[in-house]
Structure 1
Amino acid sequence: MTSTTNEAQRRGAFSSRKVFIFAAIGSAVGLGNIWRFPYVAYENGGGAFLIPYLVALLTAGLPFLFLDYALGHRYRGSAPLTFARLRRKTEALGWWQVAICFLIAIYYAAVIAWALRYTFFSVNEAWGDDPEGFLFGDFLQAGDPGVTLDVVVGVLVPLALVWVVVLLIMALGVQKGIGLLSLWFIPVLFIAFGALVIRALTLDGASIGLDALFSPSWDALAEPGVWAAAFGQIFFSLSIGFGIMITYASYVDRHNDMPGAGFVVGFANSGFELLAGIGVFAALGFMAQASGVAVEDVAADGLGLAFVVFPALISEAPAGALIGVLFFGSLVIAGLTSLVSVIEVVISAVRDKFEMTRVGASMAVGVPAALLSLVLFSTTSGVYVLDIIDHFINQYGILVVAVVSMVVVAWGLRELPSLAAHLNRFGSLPLGRPWYALVGFVAPVALTYVLIDALVADIKEPYEGYPAWMLNVLGWGSAVAVVVFAVAAAQVRWRPETSLDAESDTLKKEIQ
Structure 2
Amino acid sequence: MDRLRQKFRQVTGRHNGKVVPEGTSQTQQRLERGNWGNKLEFILTCVGYSVGLGNVWRFPYLAFKNGGGIGFSMVITLALVATYYNVIIGYCFFYFFASMTDRLPWAHCDNVWNSPNCVVGNETLASGEQAISSSEDFFTRYVLDQSPTIDEIGTPRWQLVLCLMLAWTVVFVVLVRGIKSLGKVVYFTATFPYLLLLALLIRGATLEGSADGIYYYLTPRWDRLDDSSVWSDATTQVFYSLSACSGGLIMMSSFNKFSNNCLRDALIVPLIDCLTSFFSGFVIFTVLGFMAHAKGAKVEDVAADGPGLAFVAYPEAIANMPYPVVWAVLFFFMMLIIGFSSQFSIIETLVSSVSDEYDFILRKNWRVSMLFRVSICCALFLLALPMTTQGGIYLLTLIDTFVSGFPLLFVGLFECFALCYIYGYKNFAADIKMMLGREPFIYWRICWCFITPGLLFAVIVFKAIEYTPASYGDDYVFPNWAQALGWLICLFPVMAMPGWFLFYYCRNGGWKVAFKVSRALPVWGPALTENRIKDPRYTCSSTAPGSSDVPQDSDGGVTGDGTVANMKKEPNIPVQNGVSSIQCEESAANQ
The residue that corresponds to 2:164 in the other structure is 159
> Structure 1 residue 484: deviation in Å?
5.2
Distance, in Å, in 1 between the alignment partners of 2:207 and 2:429 is 49
Write out per-residue CA displacement over residues 439-490 of structure 1, whole angstroms, 9 at most, x where no aligned residue: 22222222333333333343x44544101111212x1111223345667778
Distance 1:463 1:149, change over 3 A: closer
The residue that corresponds to 1:505 in the other structure is none
The residue that corresponds to 1:344 in the other structure is 348
The residue that corresponds to 2:451 in the other structure is 442
> Structure 1 residue 17: deviation in Å?
1.6
Asked if the contact 2:178/2:348 (under 8 Å) is kept, the reply is no
Distance, in Å, in 2 between the alignment partners of 1:132 and 1:454 is 31
SS at match of 1:273: helix
> Structure 1 residue 101: deviation in Å?
0.8
Distance 1:427 1:223, change over 3 A: farther
Distance, in Å, in 2 between the alignment partners of 1:399 and 1:271 is 23
The residue that corresponds to 1:54 in the other structure is none
The residue that corresponds to 1:114 in the other structure is 91
Distance 1:378 1:42, change over 3 A: closer
Question: Per residue, is there more helix in 1 or in 2?
Answer: 1
SS at match of 2:245: coil
The residue that corresponds to 1:323 in the other structure is 327
| Residues paired across the two proteins, number | 443
Distance, in Å, in 2 between the alignment partners of 1:316 and 1:420 is 56
The residue that corresponds to 1:172 in the other structure is 177
**5 Å matches for 1:277-356?**
277-355=281-359, 356=362
Distance, in Å, in 1 between the alignment partners of 2:232 and 2:239 is 11
Distance, in Å, in 2 between the alignment partners of 1:25 and 1:395 is 22
SS at match of 2:283: helix
Asked if the contact 2:259/2:436 (under 8 Å) is kept, the reply is no
Task: Give, as a single letter, the amino acid of the residue that structure 2 aligns with 1:409.
Answer: L
**5 Å matches for 1:18-97?**
18-45=40-67, 91-97=68-74
Distance, in Å, in 2 between the alignment partners of 1:377 and 1:260 is 40
Asked if the contact 1:125/1:311 (under 8 Å) is kept, the reply is no
Distance 1:426 1:480, change over 3 A: closer
Please say if 1:12 is aligned against 2:34.
Answer: yes
The residue that corresponds to 1:495 in the other structure is none
Q: Give 5+ residue unaligned stretches, structure 1.
A: 46-90, 493-512
Task: Give, as a single letter, the amino acid of the residue that structure 2 aligns with 1:110.
Answer: V
Write out per-residue CA displacement over residues 51-98 of structure 1, whole angstroms, 9 at most, x where no aligned residue: xxxxxxxxxxxxxxxxxxxxxxxxxxxxxxxxxxxxxxxx22111111
Task: Give, as a single letter, the amino acid of the residue that structure 2 aligns with 1:195.
Answer: A
The residue that corresponds to 1:366 in the other structure is 377
Q: TM-score, normalised to structure 1's length?
A: 0.81
The residue that corresponds to 2:523 in the other structure is none
Asked if the contact 1:182/1:337 (under 8 Å) is kept, the reply is yes
> Structure 1 residue 260: deviation in Å?
0.6
Task: Give, as a single letter, the amino acid of the residue that structure 1 aligns with 2:160.
Answer: V
**5 Å matches for 1:66-465?**
91-123=68-100, 124-127=103-106, 128=108, 129=120, 130-143=134-147, 144-146=149-151, 148=153, 150-176=155-181, 178-355=182-359, 356-357=362-363, 358-373=369-384, 375-413=385-423, 415-427=424-436, 431-458=440-467, 460-464=468-472, 465=477
> Structure 1 residue 29: deviation in Å?
0.2
> Structure 1 residue 41: deviation in Å?
2.0
Distance, in Å, in 1 between the alignment partners of 2:225 and 2:45 is 34
Distance, in Å, in 2 between the alignment partners of 1:102 and 1:227 is 27
Distance, in Å, in 2 between the alignment partners of 1:218 and 1:462 is 27
Asked if the contact 1:16/1:252 (under 8 Å) is kept, the reply is no
Asked if the contact 2:70/2:496 (under 8 Å) is kept, the reply is no
Distance 1:103 1:147, change over 3 A: farther
The residue that corresponds to 1:476 in the other structure is 487
Write out per-residue CA displacement over residues 232-266 of structure 1, whole angstroms, 9 at most, x where no aligned residue: 32222111101111111101111211111122111
Task: Give, as a single letter, the amino acid of the residue that structure 1 aligns with 2:37.
Answer: S
Task: Give, as a single letter, the amino acid of the residue that structure 2 aligns with 1:466.
Answer: F
Q: TM-score, normalised to structure 2's length?
A: 0.71
Asked if the contact 2:292/2:298 (under 8 Å) is kept, the reply is yes
Distance 1:350 1:487, change over 3 A: farther
Asked if the contact 2:236/2:405 (under 8 Å) is kept, the reply is no
> Structure 1 residue 297: deviation in Å?
0.9
> Structure 1 residue 407: deviation in Å?
1.9
Distance, in Å, in 1 between the alignment partners of 2:275 and 2:254 is 26
> Structure 1 residue 430: deviation in Å?
5.9
SS at match of 1:126: coil
Q: Give 5+ residue unaligned stretches, structure 2.
A: 1-22, 109-119, 121-133, 364-368, 505-591
The residue that corresponds to 1:466 in the other structure is 478
Asked if the contact 2:419/2:428 (under 8 Å) is kept, the reply is no
Distance, in Å, in 2 between the alignment partners of 1:385 and 1:453 is 26
Distance, in Å, in 2 between the alignment partners of 1:462 and 1:275 is 29
Distance, in Å, in 1 between the alignment partners of 2:336 and 2:137 is 22
Write out per-residue CA displacement over residues 137-196 of structure 1, whole angstroms, 9 at most, x where no aligned residue: 1111111212635110121111000001111222221122x2112112111111111111
Distance 1:455 1:125, change over 3 A: farther
Distance, in Å, in 1 between the alignment partners of 2:224 and 2:494 is 37
Write out per-residue CA displacement over residues 385-413 of structure 1, whole angstroms, 9 at most, x where no aligned residue: 11101111111222222212212222333
Larger radius of gyration: 2
Aligned-pair RMSD on alpha carbons? 2.3
Task: Give, as a single letter, the amino acid of the residue that structure 2 aligns with 1:341.
Answer: S
The residue that corresponds to 1:496 in the other structure is none
Task: Give, as a single letter, the amino acid of the residue that structure 2 aligns with 1:122.
Answer: S
Asked if the contact 2:229/2:463 (under 8 Å) is kept, the reply is no
Distance 1:3 1:259, change over 3 A: closer
Which structure carries more relative contact order (alpha carbon 8 Å, separation 6+)?
1
